[in-house]
Amino acid sequence: MTRILSQPFISMGRGATLLAAGIGRWGMLTAETVRALRHVDVWLRLLVPQMARVGVDSVPIALFIALFTGIVLSLQASYTFTGAIPLYFVGVLVGKTMMLELGPVLTGLALSGRVGANIAAELGTMRVTEQIDALETLAYPPVAYLVVPRVLASIIMFPIVTALAIAVGIAAGWITAIQLLDMSTAEFVNGLTLFFLPFDVTYALIKATSFGFMVATIGCFFGFHTRGGAEGVGHSTTRAVVVSSMVILVLDAFWAVTLL
């Protein structure tokens, strides 16, 4: 009876311990990544290919999401504002929402599924096939070779992809407002510029950069610590996507609290 009653507490304590251990290992990997930045000759030649994989290859899916997000935002804004609120506030809502929230977050979530899963699966496979062990055996810094280029590529390309997604989303909302809502370009642009602040762009880029860093480091972490065979790779991939998605949402709230 006592065992049954104490089991939830035991599970909770064990989970907290595992979480703390995971965070600690992630912190250690991050610190090692920072230290590995000195191996420029190792990671630099791998950076551009990783930027292509992380950023350029992710542009279509990011723009696709942003396109329909802008359309839906414009339509829902006009639906909400029908009546007392002037329609030029559609521009306000589309611009502000795309820049401050949906552009960075949706792009981050999309890229966490694509990039984070890719990194975790790739590194996990290398781990279970002992390729990483071989690098260590050859005294080749695996973190500088495998982690640093991916993390740096994500840090660089996430804001770039996010900026393009924001632009496409706003453009989609603009075209929707003109074609479907009988708004004029002047009305939409008036709303778009009404409450615009340069900090909105800075805020979006800061969020996107942080999302890129977390998605890449979490993907590398779960890939580096993959155990078992193919099942372990799948498990690590899933966990990488889930955790990075959760972290993106937590970071989104964190930046809203600290920067706005």
Partner 1 sequence: MSRSKEALVGVVILASVIVVTFGTLWLQGVTLAATETEITAVFANVGVIRPGNPVKYRGVRVGRVREITVDPGGELVRVVARIQEDTPMPADAVAILAPESLFGDWQLEITPRDRFPEYRYAQPDDPDHLPGYAIPDISQLTATADRISADIEILTERVGIAFSEETARNVASLIDNVEEVTQRLSELVSQQAGAFTDVTGEIQEATQRIGEAAASARMSFDQVGETLSREELARILEDLAVVAENTREFSGDLDETGSELRGMAARADSTFARVNVLLAQVEAGDGTLGRLLQDPAIAMEVEGTLQELQLLLEDIRENPRRYLRLSIF
Interface residue list for partner 1 (CB under 8 A): 48-49, 51-52, 55-56, 59, 85-86, 89, 95, 156-157, 159-161, 163-164, 167, 192-198, 201, 205
Distances from the Cα of 252 to the Cαs of 144, 152, 161, 194, 209, in angstroms? 29, 20, 17, 24, 12
Q: Which is nearer to partner 1, 87 or 126 (CB)?
A: 87
**Please, are residues 233 and 122 in contact by the beta-carbon 8 Å criterion?**
no
Q: Minimum Å distance from CB 230 to partner 1?
A: 28
Q: Which is nearer to partner 1, 175 or 201 (CB)?
A: 201
Q: Which is nearer to partner 1, 99 or 247 (CB)?
A: 99
Q: Which is nearer to partner 1, 16 or 194 (CB)?
A: 194
Q: Which is nearer to partner 1, 156 or 242 (CB)?
A: 156
The length of the chain in residues reads 260
d(CA 41, CA 48): 13
Q: Minimum Å distance from CB 74 to partner 1?
A: 17
Q: Which is nearer to partner 1, 11 or 193 (CB)?
A: 193
Kindly compute the dihedral angle of the four CA atoms of residues 130, 214, 49, 225, in this order, to the nearest 10 degrees: 0
Q: Minimum Å distance from CB 52 to partner 1?
A: 5
Phi (first) and psi of residue 126, to 5 degrees: -65, -35
Residue 184, phi-psi category: left (phi > 0), alpha (psi -120 to 50), beta (remainder): beta
Q: Minimum Å distance from CB 91 to partner 1?
A: 10
d(CA 86, CA 82): 8
Q: Minimum Å distance from CB 158 to partner 1?
A: 11
Q: Minimum Å distance from CB 142 to partner 1?
A: 20
d(CA 171, CA 166): 8
CA 131 from chain centre, in angstroms, equals 27
The tokens describing 248, both together, are 């993106």
